[in-house]
Structure 1
Amino acid sequence: MTEAKSYWGVVVPTRGDLRRFGIVLAALLALLGGYLWYVEAVGIAQLVHAASLVFLGTGLVLPVALKPIYFPYMWLARMVAFVNIHLLLGLVFYTLFTLIGLGMRLLGHDPLDRKIAPDEESYWQRRASSLFPRDHYSKRF
């Protein structure tokens, strides 16, 4: 079963999804209003709390009315998540491998054995034969 998607590329929400969206948005706005009240921006805090109550009431009584807000909000959330994921993964990747490379250079470890030896005829390194006989590959179990 495929899910229906809107113009915004967001899955069309059910009534329960919209109800949860209204409640969560109201809770977030209430927290923001509480913080604004704490930093003594009382006028703005009252407006944010009023918006929180509107979203809570709408989410509980008539969640379908939140559809026009839901789609742009979720589209924006998807875009922000896309950017955050790529930035964070790129940052972690390059930081991790840069630190590993610097640590290996400081310790003098060269896993590719890249030192140049002009008197060498070849850089080929003979390895010991494998532990398994040849028929092991055809009779693995």
Structure 2
Amino acid sequence: MDQPEVTPKVLRSFGFLMGGVLSVVTLVFAYKELPKVASVLAVIASCFILFALVAPSMLKKVYSGWMKFGEVVGSFNAKLILGFMFLSVFSVFHFFLILLRKDFLKRKLNPSAESYWEKREIKDVSVERYEKQY
């Protein structure tokens, strides 16, 4: 996937976002009375915010690593969600077709049939038909 250009503005935004989210997580851990975890997260959040303010270019490696991690997680999630949708939607649809005894693909074999060929209806072959295809 093509990455947008990493500008100082993007890095600054990333630093503020990570610092803000980590600050909220710090407050949650402080509320749960886990001071060691909260203090470590507070230091990390402060570093993100400080680098975003003073030197956003220092966040470039962290940003690129985070984006690569996001691509891996996104790829996994996409496969998981699409697989779940396929299994749930198409399996349920297939189950109902079996219950209703529908065979849209005409896969049922007929031993008495001479051929499985289906005659097509011949449509109009005029030039006007090709001018307005849709």
Change in 2 beyond 3 A, CA 1:136/1:99: farther
Measure how far apart 1:53 and its partner are.
1.7
Post-superposition CA distance 1:62-117 (Å, at most 9, x none): 11121232222222222222222222223222332222111211221110122222
Q: Quick one: which of 1, 13, 16 aligns to 1:20?
A: 13
Q: Structure 1: which 5+ residue stretches go unaligned?
A: 1-8
Q: Does the residue aligned with 1:134 lie in a helix, a strand or coil?
A: coil
Asked if 1:134 corresponds to 2:125, the answer is yes
Q: TM-score, normalised by structure 2?
A: 0.80
Q: Quick one: which of 52, 74, 84 aligns to 1:59?
A: 52
Percent identity among equivalent residues? 27
Change in 2 beyond 3 A, CA 1:74/1:140: closer
Q: TM-score, normalised by structure 1?
A: 0.76
Task: Please list every run of at least 4 consecutive aligned residues from structure 1 whose deviation after the TM superposition is greater than 6 angstroms.
Answer: none
Aligned residues: CA RMSD: 2.4
Aligned to 1:34: 27
Q: Quick one: which of 22, 39, 45 aligns to 2:38?
A: 45
- The one-letter code sitting in structure 1 at the alignment partner of 2:74 is A
Q: Quick one: which of 66, 76, 81 aligns to 1:83?
A: 76
Asked if 1:113 corresponds to 2:115, the answer is no
Q: Structure 2: which 5+ residue stretches go unaligned?
A: none
- The structure with the greater share of residues assigned to helix is 2
